[in-house]
Chains A and B, each alone.
Chain A
């Protein structure tokens, strides 16, 4: 089915308590087999859907959840309707019990209606579950999320955060593209997205090369892996990942984190600001700004500010909390016009 043959490199026998250190130096994806195989949720999932559901509900305190639901005709592809008129699913406020029941009800269907509860904060919805069913974080400030659904596909997208995702039940196929494949992925709108992130508009498993010819090039750089229960994957920040839940019941728990000072906001804000203020400049001016951004932002070095006395570096020096505050106030003020 998948047109990708290259495999994501794998490592085995990684001690869960050192996994964050282990991937810290890593900028490429890696599959870590069996990292979560001793989690109780993984063991229950191997028994049956019913066992895993019962185990989850043991932690559930009736906090309303948001599920994406759709008819079977979308084939589990969380996406848009024709011409991107709308999303092809609707969001319902419901209970975890309803989500699990609905998945189980259609367990044997060859074309089940789509049920998908994604990116739910584990400690908020299932307090206590993380104790035995997530990676030891050490000093890392990670947000831990749970994803429950039947056969679903989320088109290739990037996240700003580094990610270690662990399959707890079912199987998941991850297909990854390096960040530089952006132009070959035919990425959709940045301000109207299916689930928060811009996605590739190409259907990975049935690519329309007439419409998306450059996607053939993207495929040359793609690598994939199928994760079994207990397997994990490190998806580095900014890597495009296309994710498919392959079984009638899939659970994933992932850990998102980034190791940057707390004063740094979402880089995407700077992109929007640049689109607003730079993209439509006359070509020569835009070119000059490209040089300025390279000089100050993308390729800073000794040429950038070594000639400035240290006490006058300001925003060009190492950013501390106070300098960041001053910059934020200035930006906020300038934006309000």
Chain B
């Protein structure tokens, strides 16, 4: 269970975080939220899709990490096996909270840092210190702060992107069916991507709108990332062969 509390430099003065991303530390998931600002770095290593948020009905951008619920094929015994780690993974166990503060007589929702005290990465004596000896912010916390800020902007960018694509009817559901070396097959439902035919047939105005807001590149990066499905299958196959999982 998550136990989110406001981070403060007195209560949490001795807090240390194990930053090595390993199995059993809360990263056993097969999708993570990602944001357009990361697409360039992500698309070489991760397949990127849209999924529909069950509550809001809005499309959100995600990276696929595995083929079944808790399968994260990037997690290995020595850490996260990729050149780039998504921001929403890097941020763990911290998250953005909001606190009402009155500024010049006007109540404002000010973003503040929360920490999940039940996160498995917490509590190691040899982890990264969150605070400096006298309560200042450690370089690690400063990095977390900028990650959280990027995530906050990312939510907005992702919302604008999906809003625009829905308006242009460019999002379509995609059936991802893969076969592994051991002969087993797996199909993934609930994933969406860009409809390439419609993209090609897009009016000049539609293209201009996409380009004008810098989303044309986002779209191409998402499409290019589909090649990474093959790489994800290779990760799975490598795992199967190490496990001796011969068919």
Query: Footprint of B on A, CB under 8 Å?
Result: 64, 66, 119-122, 124, 143, 145, 335-337
The B contact surface, by secondary structure, is: loop
Question: Complex: how many Å from CA A293 to CA B71?
Answer: 63
Q: What is the chain A residue whose CB lies nearest that of B139?
A: A336
Within 8 A of A (CB), among B114-137: 132-134, 136-137
Question: Complex: how many Å from CA A232 to CA B74?
Answer: 69
B107 at the binding interface (Cβ < 8 Å): yes
Question: Complex: how many Å from CA A22 to CA B102?
Answer: 31
Asked whether, in the complex, the Cβ of A337 is within 8 Å of the Cβ of B104, the reply is no
Asked whether, in the complex, the Cβ of B106 is within 8 Å of the Cβ of A336, the reply is no
In the A-B complex, the 3 residue pairs with the smallest Cβ-Cβ separation, listed nearest first, are A121-B105, A336-B136, A121-B106
We find that the number of chain B residues with CB closer than 8 angstroms to chain A is 10
One digit per residue, 1 when the CB lies within 8 angstroms of any chain A CB and 0 when it does not, for chain B 140-167 equals 0000000000000000000000000000
Asked whether, in the complex, the Cβ of A143 is within 8 Å of the Cβ of B105, the reply is yes
Question: Complex: how many Å from CA A207 to CA B47?
Answer: 73
B217 to chain A, nearest CB (A): 35
Query: Footprint of A on B, CB under 8 Å?
Result: 102, 104-107, 132-134, 136-137
Q: Contact check: which of A64, A120, A335 meets B105 at CB < 8 Å?
A: A120
Contacts of A66 in B (CB 8 A): 102, 107
Contacts of B136 in A (CB 8 A): 335-337
Asked whether, in the complex, the Cβ of B137 is within 8 Å of the Cβ of A124, the reply is no
B140 to chain A, nearest CB (A): 13
Q: Contact check: which of B105, B107, B137 meets A145 at CB < 8 Å?
A: B105
Listed A/B pairs (23) with beta-carbon separation below 8 Å: A64-B107, A66-B102, A66-B107, A119-B102, A119-B105, A120-B105, A121-B104, A121-B105, A121-B106, A122-B105, A124-B105, A124-B106, A143-B104, A143-B105, A145-B105, A335-B136, A336-B132, A336-B136, A336-B137, A337-B132, A337-B133, A337-B134, A337-B136
Question: Complex: how many Å from CA A336 to CA B9?
Answer: 12
Contacts of B133 in A (CB 8 A): 337
Contacts of B137 in A (CB 8 A): 336
B151 to chain A, nearest CB (A): 23
A143 to chain B, nearest CB (A): 5
Question: Complex: how many Å from CA A335 to CA B137?
Answer: 10
Question: Complex: how many Å from CA A64 to CA B133?
Answer: 41
B115 to chain A, nearest CB (A): 19
Contacts of B102 in A (CB 8 A): 66, 119
A253 to chain B, nearest CB (A): 12
A127 to chain B, nearest CB (A): 12
A102 to chain B, nearest CB (A): 20
Question: Complex: how many Å from CA A143 to CA B137?
Answer: 33
Kindly name the residue among B106, B132, B137 whose own CB sees the greatest number of chain A CB atoms within 10 A: B106
Question: Complex: how many Å from CA A213 to CA B174?
Answer: 81
Q: What is the chain A residue whose CB lies nearest that of B105?
A: A121
Contacts of A145 in B (CB 8 A): 105
Contacts of B132 in A (CB 8 A): 336-337
Question: Complex: how many Å from CA A335 to CA B104?
Answer: 25
B188 to chain A, nearest CB (A): 44
Question: Complex: how many Å from CA A121 to CA B107?
Answer: 9
Question: Complex: how many Å from CA A122 to CA B106?
Answer: 9
Question: Complex: how many Å from CA A336 to CA B138?
Answer: 8
Contacts of A336 in B (CB 8 A): 132, 136-137
A87 to chain B, nearest CB (A): 15
Kindly name the residue among B102, B105, B106, B133 whose own CB sees the greatest number of chain A CB atoms within 10 A: B105
Question: Complex: how many Å from CA A119 to CA B102?
Answer: 10
Q: What is the chain B residue whose CB lies nearest that of A66?
A: B107
Question: Complex: how many Å from CA A124 to CA B134?
Answer: 39
Question: Complex: how many Å from CA A66 to CA B107?
Answer: 9
Known: A121-B104, A121-B105. 19 other contacts (CB 8 A): A64-B107, A66-B102, A119-B102, A119-B105, A120-B105, A121-B106, A122-B105, A124-B105, A124-B106, A143-B105, A145-B105, A335-B136, A336-B132, A336-B136, A336-B137, A337-B132, A337-B133, A337-B134, A337-B136
A255 to chain B, nearest CB (A): 12
Q: What is the chain A residue whose CB lies nearest that of B133?
A: A337
Q: What is the chain B residue whose CB lies nearest that of A196?
A: B102
Contacts of A143 in B (CB 8 A): 104-105
